[in-house]
Structure formats: C-alpha cells, structure tokens
Structure 1
Amino acid sequence: MRKGFTYSILLVALFCSCGLCLAQKTSIKELQAQKQAALARIEETNRLIAQSNQDQKLSTRKLELIASQIATRNSVISNIAQQIAQYRKEISLLETGIETKAREIDTLKRQYASFLRQVQFKTNSYSVIFSVLASSNAAQLYRRVRFYREYLAYQRDQHSRIAHEEQELSARKQLLESKRDELLALQREENQNRQNLQSEQQSYDNTLSQLKAQEKELRKALQEEQRRVTKINQAITKLLQEEAEQNKKTARNAAYKTLSKHFAKNKGKLPWPVRQGAITRGYGREQNKIFKGVTTTSQGIDIAARSNSAVLAVFNGTVTKIAHIPGGNNVVIVRHGDYLSLYSNVREVTVRTGEQVKTGQTIGSLLSETAGQKASLHFEIWHGFQSQNPQLWLAP
C-alpha cells in the first residue's frame, strides 16, 4: 500500500513539473512574439528617422522618433530580461530533475543487482530443471514453474525499465544543453541591445543639443502647435458630445452589450491602427523634451508612420461620425458598444457613417507629409465620457 502511494506521489510530482515547464514555455513564446513586434517597430522607426534626416532643416520630429525608439528599446531589454529569468528557472528545474533521476537509476540498478545475486545463489545450488522435476506433487510443480516464469518476466521488465529511465535521463540532459545554449544567445542579444541603447541615447543627446541652438524659432513653433492642438481637441470634444447624443437613441440590446464586453476583454490585445509606426506623443500630461517647465496634455496618442499608410479599425464596430477638422483633417469615430475609437489626421476616408467595420479593416489613409504637417495619426479610445490611455489597450 505504502509503495503504491509513493509511486502515486512521484507521478503527481512529475506531472506538475511537466505542467510547469509547459506553462513557462508558453510564456516564453509570448515574450518572444512581443519582442519581435517591438524590434519591428524599432526597424520602422529607423526608417522614419532616416527619412527625417533627409530634411535640410532639423525638426523636433527626429527627436520625438529617437525618444520613441529609446522607449521601445528599453521594452525589448526588459522583455529579454524576463526571458532570461524564465530560462534560468527552467534550467534549475532541469538540473534538479536530472540529479534526482540519476539517483533513482542508481538505486534501481543496485536493487536489481542485489536481487540477481540472491536468486543466482539459489539457482547455483539447485538447477531449474532439477528443481522442477523434484516436485513432490502437481501443485508444487505448478508453483515452481510459475515462479521461474515470473522471475524471467521480472528480469525482462527490469532491463526494459532501466533502459527507459536511462533514455529519459539522456533526453533531459540534451534538453538542458539546448536551454543553456538558448540562454547564452539571449544574454548576447541583451548585451547587443544595451549597446544599441547607448548609441541611441547619444544620438538623442546630440539632436537635443542641436535643437536647443534654435530655441527662439522652436519656441514660436511650439506655441503655434499648442494653439493648433487646442483647437483640434475642442473640435474633437464637440464631435464626441454630438456622437454621445446620437448614441442615447441606440438600443442597449444583447448585441450592444456583447460588443462592449468583447472590446473590454481585448484590453492590451487590440491591433495597432497603423501596421507599422512609432508613438511620438503619449497619453496625458507630458514634459516637453526641449523646454523645461513646458508641458502638453493629450487625450490620446500620436503615432508617426509613413505617408499614405493605411489607417485600420482596431475592433469590430459601427462608424458613427466622420468630420473634417481644420488642422486635424478628417476624423473618424467608430463605436464599439460603450467604447469609442477615434482616428484623426485621416485622408481619403474609405468608409461611410453607419457602416459596420471589422477588426483590421482599412478606414482611410494617413495624411501625406506636407509643410507644417507630420504624417502622424492621432488615436484615442473612450469609455463613455472617460478618455482611456490607448497604449494600455494596444498589443505590445
């Protein structure tokens, strides 16, 4: 009874350890996918920086792009650090498991060798044939024949069991070596990204120093930009109020509630409203990168992207508002139950008011780069009358 209980405990422990490894592998795969997405954004930001370098006049756009690149690079380094921690944990578990398995095999071999010595002593004294023939009756004959059959079967089983355990031990050792190689590769990748971060930080400092030499001109441009953004925000607020009044007439049926619930469940998983881009202005209050004490406030985020990039719906919904805002170009509002997504600086809108859109569907294209205008999408998410931080809703 106790022996069976011990085997059950060992099986449960093995099952749990395997489950833990699988869970960690899944987590590592998710981290790897997030890292690849971040590296793709860094690559796209590099292209945008190279594009800004072609301008004869240095602008704050390059500084914003480098700052975005630094933020993304830090997220990559953090991601790799998490993977390294996971790998170290897996390696530690594998090392412990290998040591335990090696001890179990050694114990199994010693027990089997001891058993063979005892049985061999008996069989040397009395041959199997003589023992069987010397049976005093049929019952004894049957018992002796059964004993030798069971002995041979046990011998085969023990050989097979030891071979199986040794194969499993060998497989674990190979997996351990593979994990160690992957860990070394990650550590090298982490070092390379830290070197890249230092280079990007130096580029940021140099660009900032050059821009500060144009302080008067840039301060004037900043004031004009702040006035433009204020007008755009006021116009957007008016549009949102109008949309809210329209929405009061919408029935809160099961489909409406289900859409709200599904949108909420996808927080942190929504696709980006452009396929490739870099966040150059974050949500809420931000310190100006050039002028100390100067802050800006935004109800959404700005995503720099290539001119004419497709603007995409981030979730299933209904287009409830399309309007033109001076300085902000076209604004498209899509309702997702109790939630709204807002896309500003859109040209060539390809949807109509009242149209049902799907996740990832093109709703327009990004405004081309022109004098005084940047190819940036302004993106907002609202829950009722409360603005949300889009970065918390978009996939990493």
Structure 2
Amino acid sequence: MKLLRLALTIIFLGLYSFSFSQTRAELERRKAQLNKDIEMINSSLQKTSTDKKVTLKELNALKAQIRLREEKIKTINSEVRLLDVEINQNVNNIRSLQNQLDQLKKDYAAMIRFAQKNQGAYSKLMYVFAAQDFNQAYKRLKYLQQFSEYRIKQAKYIDETQNALKGKVNSLNKNKNEKSNLLVDQQKEKKVLDQAEDKQSKVVKSLTSQERKLRQDLSQKQRAAAQLDRAIRAAIEREIALAKKKAEEEARAAAAKARAEGKEAPATTSTSRTSVLAATPEAAKLSAGFVSNRGKLPWPVANGVITESYGTQKIGNITKDNNGWTIRTNTSASVRAVFEGTVSRIVEIAGKNVVMIRHGEFFTIYQNLKSISVSAGQKVTTKQTIGTVGSDEDGVSEIHFELWKGMETQNPGSWLAN
C-alpha cells in the first residue's frame, strides 16, 4: 500500500507540473505578443514624434503604448502569482517526498537488520525443511521469495524518490530564479509606464492649450466619419431594398405556383427591415455562422494595435465618437476579410478607399486601403486578402474597421478574437 501511494504521488506531481507549464506557456506567448506590439507602437511613436508639433496621432500612440504596458504588467503579475503557487507546491512536495524517503530508508534498514540478525540462526534451507508438512514448506519458500522481491522494490523506490526529490529541488530553484527575473522586468515596465503617462499628460495639456486647432482637426475627422457613416447606411438601405424586393418576388412566385396547382398559397411572415437581410437560406447561414464565431473572428490585419477604440473618446474637454476601431499596423500590411461573404461596395471617402463586405445581415467595413484586390459582387473567404493598408505623410499605417448588424454599429471588441 505504501509503494502504491508513493507511485501515485510521483504521477500526480508530474501531471501537476504539466498543467502549470501549459498555463505558463500561454502567459509567455501573450507576453511575447505584447512585446511585439509595444515594439511596433514605439517605432510608430518615433515617427509621429519627429515633428515638434504635437498631434492626435502621437497622443493615440501614447495611449496604446500605455495600455499595452499595463497589460504586460498584469501578465507579469499573473506569472508571478502562478510561480508563487508553484513554489509553495514544490516546497510541500519536497517536504512530502523527504518524509517518504526517510520512511523508506527506515523500513529498508529494518529489513536489512532483520535479515542479518536471523542469518546465523538458521539458513533459508533449514527454515524451509523445518516445516511440518509440504504445504507449509511451500508457503515458507514463497515468503522468502516475496521478502527478497520486496527488498529489491524498496531499493528501487528509494532511488526513484531520491530522483523525484532532486527534480523538485531543481524546479524550486528554477522557479525562484524566474520569479526574480520577472520582478526585475516588472519594475522596469513600471518605470517606463510612469514615463509614458507623464509624457501623455504633457501631450494632453499641449493639445488642450491648442483647443481651437484641436477642434478643427477633430471636426475634419468627424466630417470624414459622418461621410463614411452616410455611405454605409445608404449601402445597407440599398441591400435591404434589394433583399426585400427579392423576397417579395419569391413570395409572389410561390403564391402563383400554388394557385396553378390548386393549393392554398403559403402564408407570408412579416419581417423587420433589417432581418430581411437574412431571409434567404444562404444569407441566414452566413448570419448564423457569423454569430457562432462571435469572439473568435480574426483581425482585419495579422498584426496591429488599437489606437482608437469603439465609442466616445475624450481628449481634454473635447469628445469624439468612433463607430469602430482604428488599428495601427505595419507598412503595406495585407488587409483581410474577417469572415466569408460578398463584397457589397467599394468607394472612396475623404481620399481613402473603403471596402464593404456583407455577411448575411452583418457588414464589415475596411477603410484606408492603399490598394484593393477584390471587386464589388465578388465572394470572399475568411482571411482572404482584400487589399493593403495605406500610410499617411509620416509613414504611419492605420486601418479603420467597423462592424454593423443591419443599421446598428457593433463593438468589434465583442466579435474579434482577443
């Protein structure tokens, strides 16, 4: 029973370490991605900071940098907490293994003393022949065999326990070194974060002092956003009208066929203006697939950092509304469809190319494309390249992405993969 309990303990320790390594690996991957994003935003920030004139793009880049560093610090804290749990567990495991090793050695020593003590009194052969009958002699012989096998097993488990103990001690030392390195990294990130927050305060103060100029810049952006909003709504209205016309034609055709066959015409169901977008089996399937992938849709670019989030943004005393995400990415990065669908419209708004893709009753919008590799009416697949992102005069590459359900905007954060 002791040997079985020991074997189960060693197996459990192995499985426990494996589960921890999986979680640690996920955190390490997330931290590596954050480092990559921070490096990209830092490079972009250097471009927007070359001019002495403070700009909104510099402020947005600083906000993104701060958010990424805060997330990295949280990731480091999660790693430290995991290591603390693992360190405590390893300490307990070492104590448990040491106690078991001491007990195994004590039991083994007792067996050796017993064997030495009784070796001179009579030999194994005499012990067997001294039996009263053949049955007892056989049992004594089996006992001697089992006693010998048990001694061998005890020696084997002592060796295995010593190796397990040594492994846990090494793991503990490794955990302590990793924790020490993480704490150093954490302090470094906090210092850089403080510097970034201080710089952000200065930029906000500078922009606020130039409120008139800031309002002009934001007003220009809002006009472009309003123009995009009108174009999107007009395109969706057109899609609704076409879908409604098609549904009505199909209903009339079904009714005419029923009358010709002497049957009762199928009942027509009333649908809302936007739900008619999913009236056909193909559109309904696309809509259902889009919904089932909520939170798992790929980003419109392979690598990128959000510089403007969905909703109302506040800069000093000025507020700005955003119907989607503005994502900063690499120069000439490929822009891809986040889900299968049909290219509904391609337009140019405020000098920027815009692609609109329909996914049943959902629409995705991709603004600021330098080149476009699809055409209106073309069917696209998930992650298919639809063009490349454009850059401004400072070399900053950003794509504006929006997601609509019918006539209502959606927060991309609820739909795209985290």
Residues 131-185 of structure 1, C-alpha deviations (whole Å, 9 max, x = no match): 3455565445434433322222221111112111211121122222222222222
**Worse overlay, 294-303 or 263-272:** 263-272
Q: Find the residue that maps to 2:375 and give its secondary structure.
A: coil
Verify: 1:346 aligned to 2:373, yes or no: no
Out of 325, 328, 333, which is 1:304 matched to?
328
**Pick from 320, 323, 329: which aligns with 2:343?**
320
1:88 Cα offset (Å): 1.3
Distance in 2, Cα, partners of 1:171 & 1:374: 51
Partner residue of 1:42 out of 38, 44, 52: 38
**Residue 45 of structure 1: how far off its partner (Å):** 0.9
Q: Secondary structure at the match of 2:391?
A: coil
Structure 1: give runs of 5+ residues left out of the alignment: none
Deviations 1:269-303 (A, max 9, x none): 43332233332211011212xx31x2122221112
Per-residue CA deviations over 1:105-134 (Å, capped at 9, x if unaligned) read 212222232233334333332223443455
Match of 1:348, SS state, is strand
3-state SS in 2 of match to 1:104: helix
Per the TM alignment, residue 227 of structure 1 is displaced from its structure 2 partner at its CA by 2.7
Matched-pair contact (CA < 8 Å) for 2:311–2:324: yes
Aligned twin of 1:394: 416
Q: Secondary structure at the match of 1:176?
A: helix
Q: Which runs of 5+ in 2 are unaligned?
A: 244-275
Task: Count how many residue pairs are aligned between Structure 1 and Structure 2.
Answer: 386
Q: 1:202-221 maps to which residues of 2 (within 5 A)?
A: 202-221=198-217
Counterpart pick for 1:237 among 218, 233, 236: 233
Aligned counterpart, 2:252:
none
Q: Which amino acid aligns with 2:313?
A: E
| Structure 1 vs Structure 2 CA RMSD | 3.0
Change (3 A) 1:23 1:364: same
Q: Quote how far apart the aligned CAs of 1:325 are.
A: 4.2
Are the structure 2 counterparts of residues 133 and 225 from structure 1 closer, same or farther at C-alpha, using a change threshold of 3 Å?
closer
| Partner Cα separation in structure 2 for residue 66 and residue 79 of structure 1 | 20
Cα distance in 2 for residues equivalent to 1:13 and 1:153: 22
CA–CA distance in structure 1, aligned partners of residues 401 and 150 of structure 2:
72
Q: How does 1:115-130 map to 2 (within 5 A)?
A: 115-130=111-126
Question: Aligned partner of 1:352: which letter?
Answer: S
Q: Is the 8 A contact 1:367 1:376 kept in 2?
A: yes
**Structure 1 letter corresponding to 2:368:** N
What are the Cα deviations for residues 31-64 of structure 1, in whole angstroms up to 9, with x where unaligned? 2222222221111111111112334643221111
CA distance in structure 2 between the partners assigned to 1:242 and 1:309 by the alignment: 31
Q: 2:298 aligns with which of 251, 271, 296?
A: 271
Q: CA deviation at 1:366?
A: 2.1
Aligned to 1:223: 219
| 1:103 to 1:40, Cα distance in 2 relative to 1, 3 A | same
Pair 1:367-2:394 in alignment = no
Given candidates 360, 364, 376, the residue that maps to 2:398 is 376
1:192 paired with 2:188, answer: yes
Partner of 1:76: 72
The aligned counterpart of 2:146 is 150
Contact 2:10–2:164 under 8 Å retained in 1 = no
Tell whether the 8 Å contact from 1:307 to 1:369 is kept in structure 2 after alignment.
Answer: no
Could you say if the C-alpha distance between residues 370 and 148 of structure 1 is closer, same or farther in structure 2, counting changes exceeding 3 Å? closer
Instruction: Assess, with a 3 A threshold, how the Cα gap between structure 1 residues 309 and 98 changes in structure 2: closer, same or farther.
Output: same
Secondary structure of the structure 2 residue equivalent to 1:125? coil
Query: Cα offset for 1:240?
Result: 2.9
Residues 267 and 90 of structure 1: CA distance in aligned 2, closer, same or farther (over 3 Å)? farther
Whether the 8 Å CA contact 1:235–1:325 is kept in 2: the answer is: no
Please give the secondary structure, in 2, of the residue aligned with 1:211.
helix
Structure 1: which amino acid aligns with 2:334? A
Letter in 2 for 1:345: N
What secondary structure does 2:297 align onto? Answer: coil
Deviation per residue, 1:200-227 (Å, 9 max, x gap):
1222233334334433322222223223
Aligned letter for 1:275?
A
C-alpha distance in 1 between matches for 2:140 and 2:7:
35
- Asked if the contact 1:41/1:277 (under 8 Å) is kept, the reply is yes
State the 1:267 CA deviation: 3.9
Query: How far apart in 2 are the matches of 1:231 and 1:308?
Result: 25
Change (3 A) 1:252 1:155: farther
Which deviates further from its counterpart, 152-161 or 231-240? 231-240
2:307 to 267, 277, 280: 280
Letter in 2 for 1:300: G
Structure 1 residue matching 2:354: 3-state secondary structure: strand
Matched, 1:295 2:291: no
SS state of the match for residue 345, structure 1?
strand
Residue of structure 2 in register with 1:331 after alignment: 354
2: distance between equivalents of 1:357 and 1:379?
17
Give distance in 1, aligned partners of 2:35 and 2:72: 7
Distance 1:262 1:27 in 2: 30
**2-side partners of 1:337 and 1:100: how far apart?**
60
**Which has the larger displacement, 326-335 or 163-172?**
326-335
* Aligned-partner SS, 2:120: helix
Counterpart in the other structure of 2:50: 54
| Contact kept in structure 2, 1:44 and 1:276, CA below 8 Å | no
C-alpha distance in 2 between matches for 1:7 and 1:94:
21
**Which amino acid counterpart does residue 195 of structure 1 have in structure 2?**
K
2:343 counterpart SS class: strand
1: distance between equivalents of 2:125 and 2:12?
49
